[in-house]
Amino acid sequence: MSYRKEFPSYPESPELAELIAMGFRDESWHNDACPQFISRDWRLRVYADFPDMDDREMGGPRFGLSLGDFDPDGDGDPSDAYGLIESDNFREIREAIRAQYAPPAAYMLTPIRDAAGADSFTRALHADGKLFHYDDSAENIVTGATGVPSFTAAEIEALNLRTTELQALPNYDPFELPVMLTHADGIQSDFADHMNRPGADFAALFATEDFAEHPEAVREAMGRVLVVYHEAHGLPPLDPADALLDPALPQEHYDWLSRYMDASEIAPTPAPVAPAPADPLEAIRAAASTIEAAPAGAAFSDDEIFEALQVLHGSAAAIVAMVEELRTLRAQTGNRHA
Domain presence at residue 275: no
- pLDDT-derived band at 143, boundaries 50, 70, 90: confident
- 114 & 83 share domain: no
Terminal CA-to-CA distance of the chain, rounded, Å? 118
Lowest mean per-residue pLDDT among 8-12, 38-42, 257-261:
257-261
In a domain, 128, yes or no: yes
What residue type is assigned to position 173 of the chain?
D
Report pLDDT for 265: 39
Q: Let me know whether 32 and 50 are in one domain.
A: yes
Q: How many CB atoms lie within 10 A of CB 271?
A: 11
222 and 189 inside one domain: yes
Q: What is the pLDDT of residue 266?
A: 37
- Which of the listed residues 56, 84, 100 is the one where a domain comes to its end? 100
Confirm whether 71 is domain-assigned. Answer: yes
Maximal CA-CA distance, the chain: 129
Report if residue 272 sits inside a domain. Answer: no
The residue among 266, 294, 309 that closes a domain is: 266
Please tell me whether residues 87 and 73 are part of one structural domain.
Answer: yes
Q: Provide the pLDDT confidence category of residue 212 given band limits of 50, 70 and 90.
A: confident
Q: Which of 42, 6, 7, 4 is nearest to 25 (CA)?
A: 42
Same domain, 248 and 185: yes
Share of the chain above pLDDT 90, in %: 41
Counting the structural domains of the chain, the total is 4
Statement to judge: residues 18 and 96 lie in one domain: yes
Domain-embedded: residue 273: no
Q: Are residues 141 and 62 in the same domain?
A: no
E-strand spans in 103-259? none
Considering the entire predicted model, what is its pTM? Answer: 0.65
77 and 130 both lie in a single domain: no
Last residue of a domain, one of 100, 123, 158: 100
Q: What is the pLDDT of residue 235?
A: 72
Q: Quick check: is 25 in a domain?
A: yes
CA distance linking residue 257 with residue 212, whole number of Å: 13
Candidate from 12-16, 212-216, 231-235, 334-338 with smallest mean pLDDT = 334-338
For residue 152, tell me if it sits in a domain: yes
Query: What pLDDT shows up at residue 80?
Result: 73
Q: Which helix (H) or strand (E) holds 4?
A: helix 3-6
Q: Are residues 239 and 255 in the same domain?
A: yes
Could you tell me how far CA 296 lies from the centroid of its own chain? 35
Q: How far apart are CA 183 and CA 57, in angstroms?
A: 51
Q: For the stretch 294-326, what's the b/e string if a residue is b when 16 or more beta carbons lie within 10 angstroms of its beta carbon?
A: eeeeeebbbeeeeeeeebeeebeebeeeeeeee
Domain, as residue range, for 7: 3-100
C-alpha 13 chain-centroid distance: 47
Percent of the chain with pLDDT over 70: 64
